[in-house]
Amino acid sequence: QVQLVESGGGLVQPGGSLRLSCAASGTIFSRSAMGWYRQAPGKQRELVATISSGAITNYADSVKGRFTISRDNAKNTVYLQMNSLKPEDTAVYYCRASYVLIHWGQGTQVTVSS
């Protein structure tokens, strides 16, 4: 099945920026809708941003204007550019691919703290 590997997480101060990457294996990446989700301890996993195979994007209200999702089909990679980070953005961020089946990455930790 499809394998997804996230990278780019880390510790950043409030107001800082991070760029997450999700590299996908397989041959169906260009047909897949891709998304970023996040989950903090004790909370439900929530949608952050999605991008369709046609590059239509969707964002959670909490990140609109701060985060940007993009994809590079030639590299089988989806990105999440995160700017103006807030402490409430702290979570494990997961990459998701959806075509016929849904595939999840292992997650990457983002911590926003002074």
pLDDT of residue 39: 98
- The average pLDDT across 6-15 equals 98
- Smallest Cα–Cα separation from 48: which of 94, 111, 2? 94
Question: Using DSSP, how many helices (H) and how many strands (E) does the chain show?
Answer: 0, 11
pLDDT of residue 104: 96
SS3 69: strand
Reply yes or no on whether the pLDDT at 1 is more than 80: no
- Smallest Cα–Cα separation from 70: which of 84, 55, 48, 92? 55
CA 60/CA 72 separation, integer angstroms:
22
pLDDT tens digits along 20-71: 999 999 788 999 999 999 999 999 999 999 999 999 999 999 999 999 999 9
pLDDT of residue 27: 81
